[in-house]
């Protein structure tokens, strides 16, 4: 492939991007699409003024400006900490690849280009290989330039990573201490409650926690079997629907169609009474209720610290009984997984692990086929009838430069849903946990498939001695990666740029909306608001980061395209966070450790490959200098693991105790206990409990079990807890519920901002 | 090698063993050796009646009977839980290899022997290879016998492992609940206390725990820098010695020479006052003391549960500060490691990890040389002058059958001390933890070096394509292991049997004793009592188990020798536990998870190798049947990890709270707090604190910091805590200190044994 072919590919993609971006700026102005492109704003009572007829069909860059101008605090308020972390990943990438780009253009590119004494063609006709490290002669002394560049890149990346980790750790701590008080901090999930003939599970829980956590145990809420409950409800639901049609008392549009009757069936009573009984600690004695109990419960504690203690400890000498975990936030609970028997979890984990590995290995087949396309000679041999078509120069360029990536991208589309399925089967109790687990899987999968399989099958497709030896891995990669540099560049162009365009256009929701509006003639303005697909977008960013690091000194011509990708990503994703995606749950920045690990891993691979390349080029000095770099990078990684990771794993005693004390001093505890009473509402599919319609908590953003939302039921999204958080912990401490707190100690921080908040003070002390 | 050669080797070893065992039975009767062979009994005031002159020089089997008859309860009382676990490992091995031996003799051996249609020689002249799986024809249908045998072996091993794990878990729980109350349960070790200009570390600790653990914090005890303290003491010590020589007030013989003066230097006062000040929670204000403080402290809590909570939680949002761990038992504390700065720990761990790996790789050199000996042709080529000697048939047998093992064993002697050194550098805070860590290292090392390197270099010594591919590992092992079967058989004969003999003879202490007694003319009866070297003996047993499992169906002729080894080991080690080794600290059965993991790993390797062998023999059906076996074994391992391992990692809330409640009801808490006051005495090398001489706790078996003992200083061992434990928790609950507990609730269990103990009841409930 030469420069012209690359520019052809780039041209196609730029054109596609411009068309898509313009199309987007037109489509978003159409009133009929407002629920596709402004789903989030719609959910927060956003009303858009209608543009004039002509203006609606002229592309405009207004959205770009808006995306650019939005501050991090606003992003935090809108999309939660996860959105901020996501934007930070993009910003980190822009920063680090700007430095890398400068270094590689100044240091590496000239060395590569003039690496061999050869007659250079006119640059546009120059093969791309001339710009890679392959063009440097064996034993050349100029290889120190590559070594130096790698040192600078590693240093820059580590420094930026360290400060990002520090800053995100601080944000996470503020997220934890932020208001309103997180109800999950008071709650643990107990699973695998032992069965006894004489007692119901409810009594067993009550007895156990009253005995062993007497001073801190508040109450509990059993989890009921869904299958049976649902069966019981089928009749009730039918009646309910009939009644609803004849009733005037219907809920607001945009709210889930609910049954607002008090006299519902027995199973309704059970659920609502259960919630009412929390403070009394009484259990049902009738056989039916006992039969419906599932051996799991949410247990509430009087303080955050007590809940953390109970969650972390081995409760009895049989670790398979009384398994405790911190409960997720109420709107983050994955209800169907909570009903997975605890004894199955480890088997499920092993099974999904094996299935993931198996799927990764099976996926080699399509990738191998794609790679065939980049080697036209081979293809022509296999399919002789193609020879005629492939003689056309333009077709050749498209086939080698564009088609493989497109096919690969199409194949890759099927991966995230499958990984999400695997993660669901695995049994995480929270939806954010499931997404995080899927994110890991997709990341491994993407890097394995896009990078390794491409590299190894692409270059060694004729010899099947892949991984012939682990010792030779660096050398194998060193041979293969520079050769695949061109493919990766086109991959960034096609997959990267185009994916941003499709992300912006929201093709599937758009088509669904059109289908609904013009074929089904549904006039309802509501569309299922979807959450940010971190499990596909985070791995995508990290994959491009991985490609960037590994190819930086080998094929530096890729970097400009990569930088453009990250710049576009910055604008596009910010726009999407502001306008499209709804924040239903928040993992509290758990994606940063993933990004950190992936980046360090990329650096290590870049170094290993460089080691191999220097070995091949017989530059022992440069190769020798890579060894300390490897060691330092590993040490840096270990240090960050020790220094920051525990904060992402568990909450610290100091912070929780400080929060407890503050709430106690303000007399806010009773209010929190009251909220706990109804926070964890078990969803009853098709027939929500009566309280859902008129729950006083709904407007506080705590209610609204979002399980239904994902199942396609539409609910009014009233900005749940995490999206209220702001960067300053001292700002909205007393904005809790409707009660005005009058204790001066509690409003102190609000009135006198100069007096430091005790929690904030600790963060400063701890060097954050 | 043929049967005759094997029997020659066996003959030599049997003769050696008989000689050694007889020698032992004579030597142990000599009064001059009593401190070598009865060190433990000597420590517990054992006086031996002197035999008649003639009887002393006639070998007798009395010790064998004694070792055979001792019950498990006695072993537990004498050697602690670790000794019981060790004996259990031997018993498990005997059981499982008895089953394996029977299966292999009945099923596998005839199949191997008649595997090929060949003219069999007279059995003594038959080559050993005829008895291995190599003699079975390719594609033979009789390979199902091997497959079936492997199924039965795996099933037997897993069943036995499960019940052993269950029973040892139960023993561990009884060990925890056993009396006297373990002071370490109330204590945590806090390291990395943040430095502040205005406060001493002592004040910082006081403030932090008073603030965040106000209701449960009892007191704390700072750790002081040893280097500086020691320097300050040099003068004091000298004066002390001078005074001691002129003073009549000397301690009993056998007790560390101590300074019993009240008017010692300032640094003495500091230490003793510190101990006195525990209840008052006051800190020193003078500059000198502050300077000597190390940023670490033992913090005592009012209840076991509170201490566990504090130890398990992340204290602040900076995980590098206020690092908490459960404290080890007072006599188990590794004082010099407690003074290692916490920030160094992770670097030290990584460094020792790398050093261990490096050492394992470097050790290939001597092993390769040893392997050369088994291939005489190669040796003759390299050293032509040996050709004459090696023509002698007897010399050949000795060189091929005996010498390699002996050389290997000699090389291996240097490994445990080095691994112990690595483990010390790593920085574990307890001596049992250090030994456990060394045990892991030695285990990895032994299996890697003895098994893999021997197998891979031994068979493929001419081709250096070791590990040419991971995929081919089973096939490579399948080719190599049966060929090495003979070597492993002789290894068991020489290394195994002989090592037991040397263990019994205690060659080094014996020589040291002779040297002291007849050259230095020291008449003192005391010898440094040594603890059981679990870090060398556990890996040895597990290595033989590994060899047994992997070779069982391939070269079943090894099994009888292995069984004899384990029988001898049973007798020898029991004898040593009863008579020789002193129990200074106890890890509470932590060696069982190591043994369990190693055994499961052995089974997996045996299956992998069988898979490879069946593949080579083109028996696809048998190979196919191995796959489910592999999966089931992995699932079994995972289940055991989930079901039992957490109990070995952490104590459960239920048990600790029950213990707390019981102690509170009996009013025993104040007494325990009083004991805590002086439990963790920081040793002052060469000059113990004045209280050491007349400490009232010494006779209760709690005092006596054993750091000094390992440094060669002799101390009277007064049976520390753990060795008092018995199997029944209800037996000696009120044997605490000197005070007689009169509360009927506390002595209830003693008087009415039919009423179940609450703790014991839980164990039954949990299915233990």
Please report which confidence band the pLDDT of residue A463 belongs to, taking 50, 70 and 90 as the band edges.
very low
Q: Is the pLDDT of residue A692 over 70?
A: no
Using the beta-carbon criterion (under 8 Å), do A654 and B212 form an inter-chain contact?
yes
- pLDDT value of position B49: 57
Q: Does B643 touch chain A (CB under 8 A)?
A: yes
Closest Cα in chain A to B306: A309
The mean-pLDDT minimum among A181-185, A558-562, B6-10, B376-380 falls in B376-380
- pLDDT value of position A278: 42
For residues B574 and A52, which has the higher predicted lDDT (pLDDT)?
Answer: B574
Interface test with A, best of B207, B213, B313, B317 (most A CBs within 10 A): B317
Report pLDDT digits (tens) over B61-100.
778 888 888 888 999 988 889 999 999 999 999 999 999 9
Nearest by CB to A319, which of B173, B321, B647?
B647
Q: Does A190 touch chain B (CB under 8 A)?
A: no
Using the beta-carbon criterion (under 8 Å), do A315 and B765 form an inter-chain contact?
no
Q: Does B765 touch chain A (CB under 8 A)?
A: yes
- pLDDT value of position B167: 94
Query: Using CA atoms, how far apart are residues A454 and B83, in angstroms rounded to an integer?
Result: 55
CB atoms within 10 A of CB A387: 12
Report pLDDT digits (tens) over B587-626.
889 999 999 999 999 999 999 888 888 888 888 888 889 9
Query: Using CA atoms, how far apart are residues A271 and A225, in angstroms rounded to an integer?
Result: 12
Q: Does A320 touch chain B (CB under 8 A)?
A: yes
Those of residues 112-171 in A touching chain B at CB distance below 8 A are 169
**Closest alpha carbon to B28 in B1, B5, B12, B50:** B50
DSSP letter, residue B492: I
**Mean pLDDT (whole number) for A621-640:** 91
- Cα angle A332, A338, A343; round to 5: 140
**Closest alpha carbon to A554 in A231, A199, A109:** A109
Phi, psi (deg, nearest 5) at residue A734: -100, 15
Going B307 to B312 to B318 to B323, the CA torsion angle's sign is positive
Q: Distances in Å between the alpha carbon of B306 and those of A301, A761, B311, B662?
A: 16, 26, 9, 15
Q: Mean pLDDT highest for which of A35-49, A164-178, A524-538, B40-54?
A: A164-178
Closest chain B C-alpha to A652 CA, distance in angstroms: 5
* Residues A135/A613, Cβ–Cβ less than 8 Å: no
The mean-pLDDT minimum among A311-325, B470-484, B657-671 falls in B470-484
Those of residues 210-229 in B touching chain A at CB distance below 8 A are 212
Closest chain A C-alpha to B350 CA, distance in angstroms: 9
Using the beta-carbon criterion (under 8 Å), do A768 and B321 form an inter-chain contact?
no
Please report which confidence band the pLDDT of residue A548 belongs to, taking 50, 70 and 90 as the band edges.
very high
- pLDDT value of position A279: 43
- pLDDT value of position B698: 34
Mean pLDDT of chain A: 76
**How many CB contacts within 8 angstroms connect chain A with chain B?**
129
Query: Using CA atoms, how far apart are residues A553 and A517, in angstroms rounded to an integer?
Result: 52
Report pLDDT digits (tens) over B377-427.
666 776 677 777 777 777 777 777 667 767 777 777 888 999 999 999 998
Closest chain A C-alpha to B159 CA, distance in angstroms: 19
Q: Is the pLDDT of residue B494 over 70?
A: yes
Query: Using CA atoms, how far apart are residues B665 and B673, in angstroms rounded to an integer?
Result: 15
pTM comes to 0.81
* H/E element, A479: helix A473-491
Q: Which residues pair with A568 in a beta bridge?
A: none
The mean-pLDDT minimum among A465-469, B31-35, B750-754 falls in B750-754
For residues B43 and B536, which has the higher predicted lDDT (pLDDT)?
Answer: B536
In the sheet with A293-301, reading across from the earlier edge strand, the strands are: A217-224, A293-301, A187-191, A323-326
Closest chain B C-alpha to A321 CA, distance in angstroms: 8
Please report which confidence band the pLDDT of residue B569 belongs to, taking 50, 70 and 90 as the band edges.
very high
Those of residues 670-699 in B touching chain A at CB distance below 8 A are none
Q: Does B627 touch chain A (CB under 8 A)?
A: no
Using the beta-carbon criterion (under 8 Å), do B316 and A766 form an inter-chain contact?
yes
Using the beta-carbon criterion (under 8 Å), do A768 and B212 form an inter-chain contact?
no
Q: Does B767 touch chain A (CB under 8 A)?
A: yes
**Closest alpha carbon to B275 in B6, B544, B673:** B673
Please report which confidence band the pLDDT of residue A379 belongs to, taking 50, 70 and 90 as the band edges.
low
Count helices and strands (H / E) in chain A.
36, 4
Q: Mean pLDDT highest for which of B26-40, B269-283, B367-381?
A: B26-40
Nearest by CB to B317, which of A312, A314, A762?
A762
Nearest by CB to B653, which of A315, A321, A644?
A315
Query: Using CA atoms, how far apart are residues A184 and A205, in angstroms rounded to an integer?
Result: 19
Residues from chain A that touch B638, judged by Cβ atoms under 8 A, are: 346, 350
* Residues B561/B492, Cβ–Cβ less than 8 Å: yes
CB atoms within 10 A of CB B311: 20
- pLDDT value of position B172: 92
The mean-pLDDT minimum among A303-312, A472-481, B263-272 falls in B263-272
Residues from chain A that touch B659, judged by Cβ atoms under 8 A, are: none
Contacts within 8 Å (CB) and 24+ apart, B693-696: B693/B251, B693/B255, B693/B258, B693/B259, B693/B260, B694/B260
The mean-pLDDT minimum among A338-352, A489-503, A653-667, B292-306 falls in A489-503
The mean-pLDDT minimum among A383-397, A420-434, B262-276, B375-389 falls in B262-276
Report pLDDT digits (tens) over A194-237.
988 888 888 899 999 999 998 899 889 888 886 654 555 545 55
* H/E element, B294: strand B293-301
Using the beta-carbon criterion (under 8 Å), do A318 and B657 form an inter-chain contact?
no
Interface test with A, best of B193, B195, B318 (most A CBs within 10 A): B318
- pLDDT value of position A241: 53
Query: Using CA atoms, how far apart are residues B47 and B492, in angstroms rounded to an integer?
Result: 37
Using the beta-carbon criterion (under 8 Å), do B653 and A470 form an inter-chain contact?
no
**Mean pLDDT (whole number) for A524-529:** 60
* Torsion-angle region of A655 (φ positive above 0: left; ψ -120 to 50: alpha; else: beta): alpha
Q: Is the pLDDT of residue B462 over 70?
A: no
Q: Distances in Å between the alpha carbon of A550 and those of A99, A451, A604?
A: 15, 10, 9
Q: Is the pLDDT of residue B157 over 50?
A: yes
Residues from chain A that touch B654, judged by Cβ atoms under 8 A, are: 212, 315-317
Residues from chain B that touch A194, judged by Cβ atoms under 8 A, are: 765
**Closest alpha carbon to A561 in A499, A505, A504, A496:** A496
Phi, psi (deg, nearest 5) at residue B69: -80, -25
Closest chain A C-alpha to B736 CA, distance in angstroms: 25
The angle that helices B669-679 and B266-276 make with each other, rounded to 10 degrees, is: 160
Torsion of CA B24, B30, B33, B39, to 10 degrees: 80
The residues, ordered by sequence, that sit 6+ positions from B721 with a Cβ below 8 Å of its Cβ are: B180, B182, B329, B331, B701, B702
First to last CA, chain A: 49
SS3 content of chain A, % helix, strand, coil (to 5): 65, 5, 30
* H/E element, A300: strand A293-301
**Residue B757 DSSP SS3:** coil
Using the beta-carbon criterion (under 8 Å), do A314 and B651 form an inter-chain contact?
yes
**Residue B549 DSSP SS3:** helix
Question: What percent of chain A is modeled with pLDDT above 90?
Answer: 25
**Residue B645 DSSP SS3:** helix
Those of residues 461-490 in A touching chain B at CB distance below 8 A are 467-471
Q: Is the pLDDT of residue A517 over 90?
A: no
**Mean pLDDT (whole number) for A451-475:** 57
For residues A702 and B673, which has the higher predicted lDDT (pLDDT)?
Answer: B673
Please report which confidence band the pLDDT of residue A117 belongs to, taking 50, 70 and 90 as the band edges.
confident
Closest chain A C-alpha to B455 CA, distance in angstroms: 19
* H/E element, B561: helix B559-579
DSSP assignments along B71-123, one per residue: -HHHHHHHHHHHHHHHHHHHHHHHHHHHHHHHHIIIIIHHHHHTSS------G
Closest chain B C-alpha to A72 CA, distance in angstroms: 23
Using the beta-carbon criterion (under 8 Å), do A468 and B470 form an inter-chain contact?
no
Closest chain B C-alpha to A759 CA, distance in angstroms: 10
Q: Mean pLDDT highest for which of A357-366, A409-418, B461-470, B654-663?
A: B654-663
Q: Is the pLDDT of residue B765 over 70?
A: no
Residues from chain B that touch A764, judged by Cβ atoms under 8 A, are: none
Query: Using CA atoms, how far apart are residues A324 and A78, in angstroms rounded to an integer?
Result: 32
Using the beta-carbon criterion (under 8 Å), do A317 and B644 form an inter-chain contact?
no
Residues from chain A that touch B655, judged by Cβ atoms under 8 A, are: 316-317
R_g of chain B, CA atoms, integer Å:
29
Query: Using CA atoms, how far apart are residues A708 and B669, in angstroms rounded to an integer?
Result: 53
- pLDDT value of position B244: 55
* Residues A92/A164, Cβ–Cβ less than 8 Å: yes
* H/E element, B221: strand B217-224
Please report which confidence band the pLDDT of residue A756 belongs to, taking 50, 70 and 90 as the band edges.
very low
Q: Is the pLDDT of residue A274 over 50?
A: no
For residues B612 and B754, which has the higher predicted lDDT (pLDDT)?
Answer: B612
* H/E element, B556: none
DSSP assignments along B164-186, one per residue: HHHHHHHHHHHHHHPSSPPGGGG
First to last CA, chain B: 49
DSSP assignments along B23-40, one per residue: HHHHHTTSGGGHHHHSHH
Using the beta-carbon criterion (under 8 Å), do B647 and A469 form an inter-chain contact?
no
Please report which confidence band the pLDDT of residue A173 belongs to, taking 50, 70 and 90 as the band edges.
very high
DSSP letter, residue B199: S
Closest chain B C-alpha to A311 CA, distance in angstroms: 11
- pLDDT value of position B677: 83
Phi, psi (deg, nearest 5) at residue A600: -60, -40
Total residue length of chain A = 768
Closest chain A C-alpha to B644 CA, distance in angstroms: 7
* H/E element, B652: none
The mean-pLDDT minimum among A319-328, B107-116, B168-177, B446-455 falls in B446-455
Please report which confidence band the pLDDT of residue A740 belongs to, taking 50, 70 and 90 as the band edges.
very low
CB atoms within 10 A of CB B166: 15
Please report which confidence band the pLDDT of residue B372 belongs to, taking 50, 70 and 90 as the band edges.
low
Q: Is the pLDDT of residue A76 over 70?
A: yes
CB atoms within 10 A of CB B437: 21
Interface test with B, best of A188, A197, A317 (most B CBs within 10 A): A317
Q: Is the pLDDT of residue A59 over 70?
A: yes
Those of residues 521-550 in B touching chain A at CB distance below 8 A are none
Report pLDDT digits (tens) over A62-73.
788 888 888 888
Q: Is the pLDDT of residue A464 over 70?
A: no
Using the beta-carbon criterion (under 8 Å), do A319 and B765 form an inter-chain contact?
no
- Cα angle A52, A55, A56; round to 5: 85
Phi, psi (deg, nearest 5) at residue B395: -60, -45
**Closest alpha carbon to A632 in A660, A599, A600:** A600
* Residues B647/A317, Cβ–Cβ less than 8 Å: yes
CB atoms within 10 A of CB B375: 15
For residues A697 and A377, which has the higher predicted lDDT (pLDDT)?
Answer: A377
- pLDDT value of position B592: 95
- pLDDT value of position A260: 28
Q: Is the pLDDT of residue A465 over 70?
A: no
Beta pairing, strands B217-224 & B187-191: unpaired
What interface predicted TM-score (ipTM) does this complex get?
Answer: 0.78
Report pLDDT digits (tens) over B113-150.
887 777 777 777 777 777 888 778 887 888 888 999 99
Strand runs labelled E in B435-594: none
Please state the separation of Cα A66 from the chain's center in Å. 23
**Mean pLDDT (whole number) for A429-443:** 92
The angle that helices B758-765 and B653-665 make with each other, rounded to 10 degrees, is: 160
Q: Does A767 touch chain B (CB under 8 A)?
A: yes
Query: Using CA atoms, how far apart are residues A639 and A418, in angstroms rounded to an integer?
Result: 35
Using the beta-carbon criterion (under 8 Å), do A652 and B316 form an inter-chain contact?
yes
Using the beta-carbon criterion (under 8 Å), do A647 and B308 form an inter-chain contact?
no
- pLDDT value of position A641: 92
Query: Using CA atoms, how far apart are residues A594 and A161, in angstroms rounded to an integer?
Result: 12
Query: Using CA atoms, how far apart are residues A224 and A282, in angstroms rounded to an integer?
Result: 16
- pLDDT value of position B523: 62
Nearest by CB to A314, which of B194, B310, B653?
B653
Question: What percent of chain A is modeled with pLDDT above 70?
Answer: 72
């Amino acid at each position: 492939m030469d420069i012209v072919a690359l520019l052809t590919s780039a041209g196609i993609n730029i054109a596609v991007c411009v068309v898509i971006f313009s199309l987007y700026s037109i489509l978003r102005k159409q009133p009929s699409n407002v629920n596709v492109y402004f789903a989030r704003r719609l959910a927060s009572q956003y009303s858009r003024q209608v543009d004039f007829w002509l203006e609606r069909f002229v592309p405009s860059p207004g959205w770009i400006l808006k995306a650019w101008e939005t501050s991090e605090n606003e992003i935090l308020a809108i999309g939660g900490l996860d959105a901020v972390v996501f934007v930070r990943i993009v910003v980190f990438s822009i920063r680090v690849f700007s430095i890398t780009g400068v270094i590689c253009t100044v240091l590496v590119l000239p060395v590569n280009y003039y690496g061999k004494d050869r007659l250079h063609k006119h640059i546009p006709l120059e093969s791309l290989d001339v710009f890679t490290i392959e063009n440097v002669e064996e034993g050349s002394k100029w290889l120190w330039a590559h070594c130096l560049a790698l040192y600078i890149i590693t240093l820059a990346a580590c420094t930026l990573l360290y400060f990002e980790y520090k800053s995100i750790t601080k944000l996470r701590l503020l997220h934890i201490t932020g208001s309103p008080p997180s109800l999950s901090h008071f709650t643990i999930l107990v699973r695998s409650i032992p069965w006894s003939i004489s007692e119901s599970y409810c009594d067993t829980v009550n007895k156990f926690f009253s005995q062993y956590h007497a001073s801190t145990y508040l109450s509990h809420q059993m989890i009921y079997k869904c299958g049976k409950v649902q069966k019981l409800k089928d009749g009730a639901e039918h009646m309910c629907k009939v009644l609803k049609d004849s009733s005037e008392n219907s809920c607001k549009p945009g709210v889930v169609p609910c049954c607002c009757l008090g006299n519902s069936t027995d199973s309704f009573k059970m659920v609502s009474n259960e919630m009412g009984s929390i403070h009394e600690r009484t259990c049902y004695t009738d056989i039916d209720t006992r039969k419906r109990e599932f051996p799991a419960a949410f247990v509430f504690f009087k303080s955050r610290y007590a809940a953390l203690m109970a969650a972390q400890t081995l409760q009895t000498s049989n670790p398979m009984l009384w398994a405790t975990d911190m409960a997720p936030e109420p709107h983050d609970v994955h209800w169907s997984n909570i009903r997975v028997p605890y004894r199955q979890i480890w088997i499920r984990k092993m099974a999904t692990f094996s299935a993931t590995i198996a799927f990764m290995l099976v996926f080699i087949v399509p990738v191998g086929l794609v790679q065939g396309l980049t080697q036209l000679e081979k293809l022509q041999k296999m399919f002789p009838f193609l020879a005629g078509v492939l003689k056309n120069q333009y077709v050749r360029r498209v086939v080698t430069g564009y088609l493989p990536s497109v096919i690969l991208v199409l194949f890759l589309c099927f991966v995230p849903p499958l990984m999400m399925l695997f993660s669901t089967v695995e049994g995480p109790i929270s939806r954010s946990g499931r997404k995080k687990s899927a994110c890991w899987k997709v990341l491994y999968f993407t890097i394995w498939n896009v990078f390794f399989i491409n590299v190894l099958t692409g270059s060694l497709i004729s010899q099947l001695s892949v991984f012939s030896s682990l010792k030779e891995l660096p050398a194998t990669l060193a041979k293969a990666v520079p050769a695949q540099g061109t493919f990766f560049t086109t991959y960034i162009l096609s997959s990267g740029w185009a994916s941003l365009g499709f992300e912006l256009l929201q093709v599937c929701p758009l088509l669904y909306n059109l289908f609904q509006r013009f074929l089904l003639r549904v006039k309802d303005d509501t569309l299922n608001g979807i959450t940010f697909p971190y499990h596909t977008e985070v791995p995508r960013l990290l994959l491009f980061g991985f490609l960037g690091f590994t190819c930086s000194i080998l094929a530096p011509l890729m970097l400009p395209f990569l930088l453009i990708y990250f710049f576009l990503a910055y604008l596009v994703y910010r726009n999407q966070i502001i306008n499209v995606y709804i924040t239903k749950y928040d993992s509290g920045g758990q994606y940063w450790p993933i990004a950190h690990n992936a980046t360090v891993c990329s650096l290590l691979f870049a170094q290993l490959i460089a080691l191999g390349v220097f070995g091949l080029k017989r530059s022992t000095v440069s190769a020798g200098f890579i060894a300390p770099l490897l060691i330092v990078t590993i040490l840096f990684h270990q240090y960050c693991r020790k220094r920051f990771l525990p904060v992402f794993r568990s909450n610290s005693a100091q912070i929780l105790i400080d929060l407890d004390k503050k709430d106690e001093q303000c007399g806010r505890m009773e209010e929190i206990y009251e909220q706990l009473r109804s926070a964890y509402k078990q969803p009853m599919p098709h027939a929500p409990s009566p309280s859902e319609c008129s729950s006083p908590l709904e407007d506080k953003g705590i209610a609204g079990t979002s399980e239904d939302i994902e199942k396609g039921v539409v609910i009014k999204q009233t900005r749940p807890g995490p999206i209220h958080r702001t960067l300053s912990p001292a700002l909205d401490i007393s904005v809790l519920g409707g009660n005005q707190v009058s204790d001066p100690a509690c409003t102190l921080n609000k009135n006198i901002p100069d007096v430091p908040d005790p929690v904030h003070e600790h963060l400063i002390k701890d060097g954050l």
